[in-house]
Amino acid sequence: MARHFVFFDNDQPHQMSTSYVRWSDVEGTPVADPIHEPWPGGTQAQLATLGIRVTLIKESFTCGMPTEQEAKTLKIGSGVPVLRYTRRHIAQDGRVVEVASPIVRRGDTTVVEFDIPLV
């Protein structure tokens, strides 16, 4: 099942994404009904109601100039770079249960921060 989102901050679009969940996991459930969006707790909470426990999220990043549609949706000029990333929710059994790709954010206002524990 594909879901398309545009997220706003103070009435300004700042992120757009397309999320895919397995139809076999959500068919016939409230998760498959768009009337329930936005769902408090997001994708993890939605999947948890179905007994699917997400234990790992993987993300991969690229950046570049926006497509015409990205610039229009995010209300940015064609000269403002965007950050694009893919997010994968992985269940405790190792299955990929959701993929969001691409998640697109304007590059001039986005900060990506990582913690890298050294054990």
The full set of domain ranges for the chain reads: 2-106
Q: What is the residue-averaged pLDDT of the chain?
A: 92
The residue behind tokens 């993300």 is 59
Fold exhibited by the domain 2-106? Chorismate lyase (3.40.1410)
The Cα 30–Cα 20 span in angstroms is 16
pLDDT at 114: 87
26 C-beta neighbours (distance < 10 Å), count: 19
CA angle 55, 49, 93 (to 5 degrees): 35
pLDDT, tens digit, for every residue of 63-98?
999 999 999 999 999 899 999 999 999 999 999 999
What are the helix (H) ranges across the chain? Answer: 23-26, 42-48, 68-74
The CA distances from residue 28 to 31, 48, 66, 118, in Å, are 8, 16, 36, 45
Percent of the chain with pLDDT over 70: 99
- pLDDT, one tens digit per residue, over 12-33 is 999 999 999 999 999 999 888 8
Region 92-117: mean pLDDT is 93
Predicted pLDDT at 18: 95
Give the predicted TM-score (pTM) of the model: 0.84
Stretch 90-111: mean pLDDT, rounded? 95
Contact 17, 1 (CB under 8 A): no
